[in-house]
A and B are shown apart, each in its own frame.
Chain A
């Protein structure tokens, strides 16, 4: 079983459209949407949810205002500016302390040191994750709660469930739709994977971000290939990006032309290769052929 992760550094370069198209071209595949704070793959693949679970990624503190004596110790020791003197009064104090759940880092230090045992500290639900059936195979996806943290942990969980399904059902491939950036969720989605495909665009921003994401995959020692979406928006920069990528030890998987039909396919809830007969679809087929070959080589 092989795991392919599609990431980009810069957002909006076409990761999800490409993953959906690969799902239509490949067989025996499990899909994992690891962009858990802005998941979009479900909009194309129309999943039927067969299992739904809560996700708890950490703990959080909460002050019981009845027990708070307003001593101020918690505010003094909190490193995350999560505690303020805005809680309701009780019989002993006119005002009490309270915790901003969005700012709380879940370290539990306030609860440990509260002399009045007024701070409850326990697990919270930060989101939900799903196992679904789609026309292209099983899919694992998730929804992080509004303004919640712990996206990296949810990514790890989605990946783990997708691999379990691949093993149980004897499927050969896991495709992971990653998130933008190079931080926590991206690191959680690439660690130990067989191959990373970086999708970029021919802009100076795309070139800059490709460099950072290539450094990241090298840092973690993961084989990486690159493709350029909308390459014809600026051919000079396309050539520059390809030269830089080769210089960094990346292999080139191909180019995708600019075509408004990519957006039309999205509106029709279809992947590009399901909607467009040729042109941009041929570009994606070529890239899939190269990625498939790189996957076969990876780890052998």
Chain B
């Protein structure tokens, strides 16, 4: 089973929920892997403190041109939608950072002048922490396209009965890539106008992708009641509410797992995991 944790708005507590679910699941004898798909700003390792294997490079395939075979027909530049390859004068130029790795240029080249080479854009690490398996990725600073790294993290993650997928914030391509094949989507929000606005976007995404989902309200006593009303009016199940507890904020700031160090919270995350099991199973 694959559970993805997403939010729309950043900083609502995705990583708190994801790391604690992975922690309580693995401590209760289940085979669990935590997969951090926020490859731009991964934070799960701060809380789970895994032992990691060496880095595996991740790249996209970009064209390499053998000028001696090129007949300057220009087809490569014509098929490319991203201006990543152009035939101009006596030369063919490749702009690797614009390439999406579709392979069109090498397919279309009539003289076999184009091969593909790996252009590194990030790296993936796998490891473990106690009984819990772990995977995360790092987009190289300055690279724009995170989805290939996200795809690589998911592919590299050790097999387990339960995968907890920690998605990046937002609702666009990196989030889509993270959650696209999950069995259940958990949306973490906070009861503020910003939190609610972005929850609505995340709900629209979940419905568009036809994913079963439920909501966790974090810092539940912080803002107003609008989020509760919205969920009630739209038949959206609130699976749990986490209080606005300064003890959680402080333990989070130090990189501690609430389910491990604070009494009562282990039970809360066990109950949440049980509810998700019922809905997704």
Nearest chain B residue, comparing its CB with the CB of A180? B10
Q: Are B249 and A208 in contact (CB under 8 A)?
A: no
Q: Which of B9, B176, B192 has a CB less than 8 Å from the CB of A147?
A: B176
Which chain B residue has the least Cβ–Cβ distance from A12?
B11
**C-beta contact mask, B147-177 vs A, less than 8 Å → 1, else 0?**
0000000000000000000001111111110
Tell me whether B15 and A112 are in contact (CB under 8 A): no
B194 near A40: Cβ-Cβ < 8 Å = yes
Q: B175 contacts which chain A residues (CB < 8 A)?
A: 37
Do A183 and B169 touch (CB < 8 A)? no
Contact residues of A between 152 and 194, Cβ < 8 Å to B:
152, 179-188
* B1-43 interface code vs A (CB 8 A; 1 in, 0 out): 0000001111110010000000000000000000000101101
Within 8 A of A (CB), among B171-221: 171-176, 180, 192-194, 197-198, 201, 204-205, 208-209
- Within the assembled complex, what's the spacing in Å between the Cα atoms of A149 and B38? 17
B234 at interface (Cβ–Cβ under 8 A)? no
Of B168, B174, B194, B255, most A-chain CB atoms within 10 Å = B194
Interface centre among A36, A59, A209, A219 (most CB of B within 10 A): A209
Contact B102 A215 (CB under 8 A): no
Q: Does residue B144 face the partner (Cβ distance < 8 Å to A)?
A: yes
- A211 to nearest B CB, angstroms? 10
Whether A266 lies near B176 (C-beta < 8 A) is no
Taking chain B's interface residues, is the majority helix, strand, or loop, or is none over half, making it mixed?
loop
A276 interface residue per 8 A CB criterion: no
Indicate the member of A10, A151, A215, A220 with the most B CB atoms within 10 Å.
Answer: A10
Q: Closest residue of chain B to A9, judged by CB?
A: B41
Least CB distance from B275 to A in Å reads 25
Q: How many Å from the CB of B15 to the closest CB on chain A?
A: 7
In contact, A38 and B9 (Cβ under 8 angstroms) = yes
A205 touches which of B46, B100, B174 (Cβ 8 Å)? B46
Residue B141 CB within 8 A of the other chain: yes
The answer on a CB contact under 8 Å between A266 and B108 is: no
Which listed segment binds B: A88-96, A101-109, A128-136, A290-298? A101-109
Q: Decide: A267 and B223 in contact? CB cutoff 8 A.
A: yes
CB < 8 Å neighbour of A146 from B101, B205, B255: B205
Of B146, B198, B253, the residue contacting A234 (CB under 8 A) is B253
Asked whether A216 lies within 8 Å of B11 as measured between CB atoms, the reply is no
Would you give the shortest CB distance from A90 to chain B, in whole angstroms?
Answer: 25
Which chain A residue lies CB-closest to B139?
A: A183
Q: Please tell me if the beta carbons of A37 and B201 are within 8 angstroms of each other in the complex.
A: yes
B residues in contact with A185, CB < 8 Å: 172
Say whether A64 faces chain B, with CB atoms less than 8 Å apart: no
Q: Is the CB of B103 within 8 A of A184?
A: no
Contact with B along A260-284 (1 / 0, CB 8 A): 1001001101000000000000000
Instruction: Assess whether A184 is in contact with B146, with CB atoms less than 8 Å apart.
Output: yes
B179 to chain A, nearest CB (A): 10
Of the candidates A36, A147, A204, the one whose C-beta lies within 8 Å of that of B46 is A204
Q: How large is the interface on A (under 10, 10 to 19, 20 to 34, 35 or more residues)?
A: 35 or more
Query: For chains A and B in complex, what number of residue pairs have CB atoms within 8 angstroms?
Result: 188
Give 1 or 0 for each of B69-112: 1 = CB within 8 Å of chain A CB. 00000000001011000000000000000001111100110000
Task: Say yes or no for A224: interface residue by CB 8 A criterion.
Answer: no
Chain A residues within an 8 Å CB radius of B222:
260, 263
> Does A289 have its Cβ within 8 Å of any Cβ on chain B?
no
Q: What 1/0 flags go to B29-73 for Cβ under 8 Å of A?
A: 000000000101101001000000000000000000000000000
Given contacts A112-B79, A266-B193, contact A79 B102 (CB under 8 A): yes
Smallest CB gap from B149: residue in A? A183
In Å, the complex CA distance between A182 and B139 comes to 8
- Is A68's beta carbon under 8 Å from chain B? no
| A58 located at the interface, meaning its Cβ lies under 8 Å from any Cβ of chain B in the complex | yes
Q: CA A5 – CA B272 in complex, angstroms?
A: 39
> Is A49 on the interface with B (CB-CB < 8 A)?
no
- Tell me if B250 counts as interface (CB < 8 A to partner A): yes
Contact between chains at A204 and B254 (CB < 8 Å): yes
B192 CB contacts on chain A under 8 angstroms: 263, 266-267
The answer, yes or no, to whether B277 is at the interface (CB within 8 Å) is no
B40 pairs with A146, CB closer than 8 A: no
B40 and A212 within 8 A (CB): yes
**A186 contacts which chain B residues (CB < 8 A)?**
40
> Using Cβ atoms and an 8 Å threshold, which residues of chain A touch B204?
146
CB distance from A202 to the nearest CB of B (A): 6
Q: A108-B104, A202-B253, A234-B253 are in contact. Are A184 and B145 (CB under 8 A)?
A: yes
Minimum CB–CB distance from B181 to chain A (whole Å) comes to: 10
Decide yes or no whether A21 CB sits under 8 A from chain B: no
Which residues of chain B are within 8 angstroms of A107 by Cβ–Cβ distance?
A: 81-82, 100, 102, 104
- Please, which residues of chain A bring their CB within 8 A of the CB of B102? 79-80, 105, 107, 109
Query: 8 A-B residue contacts at CB 8 Å?
Result: A12-B10, A12-B11, A43-B197, A106-B81, A149-B172, A182-B40, A188-B144, A208-B46
New A-B pairs, 19, CB < 8 Å, besides A13-B11, A80-B102, A205-B41? A10-B11, A12-B10, A40-B193, A43-B193, A146-B171, A146-B205, A147-B208, A151-B173, A180-B40, A181-B38, A181-B168, A183-B144, A187-B142, A204-B43, A204-B254, A205-B15, A212-B41, A267-B193, A267-B223
